[in-house]
Structure 1
Amino acid sequence: MEYIQVTKDNLENEHICCAISNNKDAQVSSKKAWLSERFDDGLVFLKSVERGKCFIEYIPAEKAWNPIEAEDYMYIDCLWVSGSLKGHGYSTDLLEACIADSKVKGKNGLCILAAAKKKPFLADPKYLAYKGFKVADEADNGIQLWYLPFSDDAKVPNFKACAKHPHIEKSGYVLYYTSQCPFNSKYVPILEETAKQEGISFKAIQITDRKTAQAAPTPITTYALFYNGDYVTNEQMNAKKFLKLVSKVGG
């Protein structure tokens, strides 16, 4: 497999999203704007030359849009290989490239979000364990911070206090999200319209700066849904799934 790094110079010409083919789609423009603004922070987006779900996105942990303390670590926003590209060792290729680059840049290790049991849009804990990652910290909602140290004396990263006990003082459904995931530009408006039509209390809060993201009341900032103050899920939903969740959870 041949890989290419997306940069400011080639961003407009490269296909950057797993399931979106139209470069004029709002999801594509949203993601490309996100990437463009993060490159100066040291973000790296490495993908296969083939179209499909095969890429890794990582950034120095100090610049990550998550409430973590991981000095001199590299934080992996997303490592995603699926569809027909699975089963060929491409995940290993991408991870090894990230490790090599991080060591060159003097990092102490890597960290990434997962959970004890695989959750949608989070790394597979079995794969992480197989690659030598260990659990560094865990929030009350089961979201874990995994890490791969490059030396035995590397400091163990952790969640900030604001994210250890995910809870907010707001009623109804409240969604925190960022533009890191392109699908939010499509599905968040759908949930807002669905909630309005069904008379469901719903508020979407877009996190638009790193300082706010690093002080968020949840380890996951790309998409975190709360109901009456309690964390519910990080899974993005269409209207049907949202209404199914409401019928189960309440509201």
Structure 2
Amino acid sequence: MENVQLIELDHELLEGTGSYCLRSKKNSEGYTNKNKWLMNRFEEGLKYVQLFENQKQVGFIEYTEAESSYRVVSADHYLVIHCLWVSVTGKGHGTTLIHKCLEDAQKLGKQGVVVVTNSETSWTPSKDIFLRNNFKIVDTAPFGFELLVHQFNDDSNSPYFPTNWDERLKPFNKLTILRSFQCPYVEIATNNVLEGANHLGIEAEIYDFNNRDELMKMSPTPYGIYSVIYKGQLIAFHRLTVHSVIKRLKQINSLHE
């Protein structure tokens, strides 16, 4: 008989058990930065809940209050899900984790829960499981982003994305990486861009978001923790291979010759 258990990480458990993503490379810079980021976010009320089956980690969910979330969405009085991941589908683990978040939102007196999805990348959760759990799409943004919400009351204010995405890209002519360490894979993604740019002799700048306010003002996509911009164009919001980086930079340069 399967034994399923939910464990909410705190400072002590994080030091012992560690986070879920990139756990096979616990000495990597990305994994270390993620755990440091979590330590600071716990003080803001962030929840990181791991799901164990027969004492083995098989999934997790990360969520926090919208007012301190790392997604570019206006959703006061909601919880925002950053990440949802399970190692095996078809067992209801994802739904179990979502229900945990919904229960916490109700206990906190929130109006509901929101999540940002994008079918072009596995860096955001799949929208299908949320649609099956009574979430609905309430807004969209360029590059395939969708905003889904589970509202406890139909009269509640509906969350929304900003609309000035094109304007956010214009200030960045030089190759620029905007990032936060909410995702441990950001470090790998950054290194791939730097390697590809170096191959072409292009200098890159890195800007690390210090807080949510900066992210809300500057990020060119709703997935606020990683963006690569060059000559006013978005190159990526998720990890690219070095080959893909080189190809994309060449394409942009050819358009400006």
Take 2:121 and 2:144, find their aligned partners in 1: how far apart are those partners?
10
In structure 2, the residue corresponding to 1:243 is in which secondary structure? Answer: helix
Residue 82 of structure 2 aligns with which residue?
Answer: 77
| Structure 1 residues not aligned, in runs of 5+ | none
**Divergent runs of 4+, >6 A:** none
The within-5 A match list for 1:1-251 is 1-49=4-52, 54-82=59-87, 85-115=88-118, 117-163=119-165, 166-218=168-220, 219-250=222-253
For 1:190 and 1:112, the matched residues in 2 are separated by 28
Q: For residues 232 and 187 of structure 1, do their structure 2 counterparts lie closer, same or farther at Cα, with a shift above 3 Å needed?
A: closer
SS in 2 for 1:54: strand
Distance in 1 of aligned mates of 2:5 and 2:244: 37
- Distance change >3 Å, CA 231–CA 161, structure 1 → 2: same
Q: How many residues align?
A: 248
Q: Which amino acid aligns with 2:177?
A: L
Distance change (3 Å), C-alpha of 1:38 and 1:233: same
- Counterpart of 1:109, as a letter, is G
**AA in 2 matched with 1:38:** R
For residue 68 of structure 1, report the CA deviation from its aligned partner. Answer: 1.9
Letter in 1 for 2:197: A
Does the CA-based 8 Å contact 1:109-1:147 persist in structure 2?
yes
Residue 121 of structure 1 deviates from its aligned partner by: 1.0
- The share of aligned pairs that are identical, in percent, is 24
CA shift at 1:7, angstroms? Answer: 0.7
Q: How far did residue 157 of structure 1 move? A: 0.5
CA distance in 1, matches of 2:27, 2:143: 37
* 2:177–2:228 contact (8 Å) kept in structure 1: yes
User: Given that residues 120 and 234 in structure 1 are in contact (C-alpha distance below 8 angstroms), is that contact kept between their aligned partners in structure 2?
Assistant: no
Query: 1: CA distance between counterparts of 2:167 and 2:138?
Result: 16
More moved, 186-195 vs 106-115:
186-195
Q: CA deviation at 1:228?
A: 1.8
Q: 1:133 to 1:25 in 2, by over 3 A?
A: same
In structure 2, the CA distance between the partners of 1:177 and 1:94, relative to structure 1 (3 Å rule), is same
**Shift in Å, 1:247:** 4.6
Letter in 1 for 2:124: L
In structure 2, distance between residues paired with 1:106 and 1:220: 26
- Once the two structures are TM-superposed, the CA of residue 164 in structure 1 deviates from its matched residue by 7.6
**Equivalent position SS for 2:227:** strand
Gaps of 5+ in 2: none
Amino acid at match of 1:126: D
CA displacement at 1:32 relative to structure 2: 0.7
